Structure 1
């Protein structure tokens, strides 16, 4: 386990595997690097994959101050600096896609190619999940809330054949305070005005059955980012990259290698 120092001195844990050009993989809200466990190997035949534990998760520090997607992006750059990686491809999913937007906006020379998966521009232009989704996630019965989240991530057919364990349901060791800070950081994300500044070639990927982060956000991003490509995966929910890895991973690799 290695650590980088964030701009405020917080220690940010990161992990590297494989050899070759750098590919940063950014996880969803309140998750650590294990989000990528199911598919990481797909990208390592000719890539060095880089993951990190967001502050508040995994082996990173959990400062009490406010978190933001901009701040998480600065932590990503701190990791690249520690590794002496001048430029990398960046693939972010869910909140990781929001973080990736800021990496590309604020540090354009550090991003060669950008992939935004199951994510949103945020703010008033982003399409919010509906009230029934909020209610299901807030179910006071923890087992019911967990099942509801699983069915937002995966199709019932896939869940029936794959009983777990699942790595995309949040870091189980996070404090309640850190979870709240993550939720607020993601909820306050708004990169709409800055998205046209992205210069890296960009691929937007989304499951066409995603109601957790509604699919309608994908064309918004693709239209707002200059020359971005849009690909929807038929039948996929939020964790398209995991359940539909046989389609999604080659799609992303083809884009990165093109």
Structure 2
């Protein structure tokens, strides 16, 4: 797990009073929200965030991660996390932004596009699923890798290939926030597992790009295909041989695909 010192940055206030940590890296272009995976802080994006520097990138910490609060009396769900994103946008005075969510962040992004269509420009969903009846389950052998006592080696193997790890020893920032409590970690796991936007995905109006690695065992690639079929006019792009963290393993191709899609869907045109 990533063990750098805690993050700094600003905070927004959620509807229930919880503080949501975030930061904003100003660029010349339109705002782009980057949403991390389950049980991870915004450090998830550290290795690739510079690829999107032409945009004003916004990253945040979900409840229980980074500098955000970890309230036990609050709702923890992908739909609630989407509301926290809106709190961050409101704090920044951003009326509309593109959204790129990966893994659980892709599930959060779905609710953003559904509940707040006027706030979302282009939508990019990576290594994720729609939940409910539309989910293609992972192999049961994968489940132990997501438990609190799983080794980083086990989780790393699901994220990227051994060859990639060996050649990028300092860039695997997707193994979880080591500062999380057991309560927060379990709450994240439940929130992601209980996500179910499947039946309403056809109501997404944002232009949508779906990205997925073909060797993803955590969220099988069939989930990407199903998402692209369920969301009107969605475009599917697959990365041959990439595992769950396709955006690291095939960084050049994945980031280029996102940038190309965003350049075709400026906020003034969507």
Same fold by TM-score greater than 0.5: yes
Task: Give the 4+ runs in structure 1 shifted more than 3 A.
Answer: 135-140
TM-score normalized by structure 2? 0.91
Give 2:71's aligned residue: 63
Alignment partners' CA distance in 2, 1:167 and 1:208:
21
Alignment partners' CA distance in 2, 1:137 and 1:185:
14
1:90 to 99, 113, 118: 99
Alignment partners' CA distance in 2, 1:175 and 1:165:
23
Q: In the TM superposition, what are the counterparts of 1:155-166 in structure 2 within 5 Å? A: 155-164=161-170, 166=172
Give 1:116's aligned residue: 125
Cα distance, 1:132 vs structure 2: 1.2
Cα distance, 1:123 vs structure 2: 1.4
Alignment partners' CA distance in 1, 2:248 and 2:167:
14
Q: What secondary structure, in the 3-state scheme, does the structure 2 residue paired with 1:58 have?
A: coil
Q: What secondary structure, in the 3-state scheme, does the structure 2 residue paired with 1:209 have?
A: coil
Cα distance, 1:137 vs structure 2: 4.2
Q: What secondary structure, in the 3-state scheme, does the structure 2 residue paired with 1:67 have?
A: coil
Give 2:86's aligned residue: 77
Q: Is the 8 A contact 2:38 2:188 kept in 1?
A: yes
Give 2:267's aligned residue: none
TM-score normalized by structure 1? 0.95
Alignment partners' CA distance in 2, 1:84 and 1:165:
32
Q: Is the 8 A contact 2:106 2:129 kept in 1?
A: yes
1:53 to 53, 61, 66: 61
Aligned residues: 254
Alignment partners' CA distance in 1, 2:213 and 2:251:
12
Give 2:42's aligned residue: 33
Distance 1:139 1:15, change over 3 A: closer
Give 2:252's aligned residue: 246
Deviates more, 1:195-204 or 1:116-125: 116-125
Cα distance, 1:159 vs structure 2: 1.6
Unaligned runs of 5+ in 2: 1-8, 265-270
CA RMSD of aligned residues (A): 1.3
Q: Is the 8 A contact 2:148 2:182 kept in 1?
A: no
Alignment partners' CA distance in 2, 1:26 and 1:88:
12
Distance 1:241 1:226, change over 3 A: same
